[in-house]
Structure 1
């Protein structure tokens, strides 16, 4: 479990993390989202003792990271997959880490197998692709068989098969009762992997809820309606307090009225309806809505506008 209480980090006049509180619980995959500059990496660095909080505290499994006698057995972290000596082989890199943490060679071979590095284990890490580097970083995080995993963009550079493997693997670790905390900019992947989401914006928590709850608010009850008398139906729905957009000549997008009520109103008016589809919001929709006012740098001109 990871617990943050009023966790704060300042760099001079800039507050990168602003008195945040959150709990990352065991048995769940918790996603950590936010725009660039929101404070995600700084928060992760404070969790594993690489940055010292200006105020507040953060503990892992009941203690600050530095107070654990065998931290690698408590926490496995992947924060920068490039932090590898390029002249070392993957296996020697893992052996060096293992030796400094009293971890046996058998476990090194186990994590090489778990992460699919057998064929390149004796190759120099400097020649690895981005995806192979990610696998090596994940292998290092797993060395101590930790109760808690903290992963920053773990699927960056992986091919689709690798991404799917990470998803299944992380969910299996959570199913064992471990704490899994990961950040990613791949919203579709996060939606399939995470059980719970924490969103940061400008150093503050703007959302902390189960994925289902966040998704429930993303669609805002939108219903797609197709009818040959779409304009007539639009007037009826607007009278009932619905917000209606004519998407095509025979297609409406309706919010504020659920599908059942739309069906009842259409039937009462004798309007034929060919389609009535509730639209589920995506995690990307929810994320964009939550962080709309939290982005540090905004694009002011679209490519289409630029080319006019």
Structure 2
């Protein structure tokens, strides 16, 4: 279990993490989300003792990270897959880590097999692809067979098979009763991997809830409407606050009106409806709504126009 209480970190005049409190519980996959600059990386660094809190505290399994007699057996972390001596091969890198924690050599070979690194185990890390570097970082995190796992962007650079493998891995570890904290910017993957989400915005916790609750709390995005009089219905529903797209000749996607209002307006106009289905928000849409006021770095209008022109 990871417990943060009134955790704060400042760098000069900038507050990176501002009095946050949360608990990452065992037995579930907890997603750790937030826009760039929200304080996620700083928080994870404080969990494993790489940064010292300005105020507050964070413990793993009831102790500060540095107080554990065998930290690698308590906490496995992937914070920067590139933090490896590029002149070493993968096997030697893991053997060196194992030696510092008195982990037997057989465990090195176990994690090499588990992460699919057998074919490159004796190749220099400097020649690794991004995906292979991620696998090596995960192998290092798993080396001590820890009860707590912290992974920052573990699927970055992985192919579809690798993404599925990471998903199965973290869910399997959580099912064993371990604590898993997983950070990623890929909302589609987080939606099918995480059970619970902690969302930061400008250094504060803005959500700490199950995934289903966060999606359910988002405002209705759109309604799918099917009618043999789709064009007439579109004219009936048209207003400055309503967006209507023609998905098919007899189907509309309506944003800005709820199903009840659409049904009432259609009935008044004598327009037949064959389908009226609310389309729930995706995790990405819910996340964007949630963090809309907490994005520190926004795309400029010129960049958006460039994307549209392409």
1:234 and 1:252 in contact (8 A); partners too = no
Alignment of 1:184-203 (within 5 A): 184-203=184-203
Query: Shift of residue 217 of structure 1?
Result: 2.3
Distance in 2 between residues matched to 1:110 and 1:61, nearest whole Å: 25
Normalization by structure 1: what TM-score? 0.90
Query: Shift of residue 304 of structure 1?
Result: 5.8
Q: Which residue of 2 is the match for residue 247 of structure 1?
A: 245
Q: Which residue of 1 is the match for residue 124 of structure 2?
A: 124
Distance in 2 between residues matched to 1:142 and 1:237, nearest whole Å: 56
Distance in 2 between residues matched to 1:289 and 1:304, nearest whole Å: 19
Query: Shift of residue 176 of structure 1?
Result: 0.5
Distance in 1 between residues matched to 2:175 and 2:263, nearest whole Å: 42
Query: Shift of residue 24 of structure 1?
Result: 0.6
Normalization by structure 2: what TM-score? 0.90
Query: Shift of residue 227 of structure 1?
Result: 2.1
Moved more, 15-24 or 208-217: 208-217
Query: Shift of residue 211 of structure 1?
Result: 0.6
Distance in 1 between residues matched to 2:84 and 2:298, nearest whole Å: 34
Alignment partner of 1:65 is 2:65: yes
Distance in 2 between residues matched to 1:108 and 1:114, nearest whole Å: 10
For the structure 1 residues 26 and 256, does the alpha-carbon distance in structure 2 shift closer, same or farther, using more than 3 Å as the test?
farther
Matched residue of 1:88: which SS? coil
Distance in 2 between residues matched to 1:123 and 1:231, nearest whole Å: 63
Matched residue of 1:4: which SS? strand
For the structure 1 residues 140 and 33, does the alpha-carbon distance in structure 2 shift closer, same or farther, using more than 3 Å as the test?
same
Which digits, 9 at most, give the CA deviation of each residue in 1:10-55, with x for residues without a partner? 0011000000011111011111111111110000000000000000
Distance in 2 between residues matched to 1:97 and 1:245, nearest whole Å: 56
1:70 and 1:101 in contact (8 A); partners too = yes
Matched residue of 2:21: which SS? strand
Query: Shift of residue 267 of structure 1?
Result: 6.3
1:226 and 1:275 in contact (8 A); partners too = yes
Moved more, 281-290 or 42-51: 281-290
Moved more, 10-19 or 274-283: 274-283
Matched residue of 1:49: which SS? coil
Which digits, 9 at most, give the CA deviation of each residue in 1:248-275, with x for residues without a partner? 386251556447x866875687531133
Query: Shift of residue 229 of structure 1?
Result: 3.9
Distance in 2 between residues matched to 1:254 and 1:51, nearest whole Å: 45
Q: Which residue of 2 is the match for residue 7 of structure 1?
A: 7
Q: Which residue of 1 is the match for residue 153 of structure 2?
A: 153
Q: Which residue of 1 is the match for residue 299 of structure 2?
A: 299
Q: Which residue of 2 is the match for residue 215 of structure 1?
A: 215
Matched residue of 1:132: which SS? helix
1:197 and 1:209 in contact (8 A); partners too = yes
Q: Which residue of 1 is the match for residue 104 of structure 2?
A: 104
For the structure 1 residues 71 and 24, does the alpha-carbon distance in structure 2 shift closer, same or farther, using more than 3 Å as the test?
same
Aligned length: 304
Matched residue of 1:218: which SS? coil
Distance in 2 between residues matched to 1:231 and 1:23, nearest whole Å: 52
Moved more, 286-295 or 91-100: 286-295
Query: Shift of residue 71 of structure 1?
Result: 0.9
Moved more, 151-160 or 264-273: 264-273
Q: Which residue of 2 is the match for residue 92 of structure 1?
A: 92
Query: Shift of residue 230 of structure 1?
Result: 4.9
- Runs of 5+ consecutive residues of structure 1 not aligned to the other structure: none
Q: Which residue of 2 is the match for residue 113 of structure 1?
A: 113
2:18 and 2:204 in contact (8 A); partners too = yes
1:4 and 1:59 in contact (8 A); partners too = yes
1:217 and 1:281 in contact (8 A); partners too = no
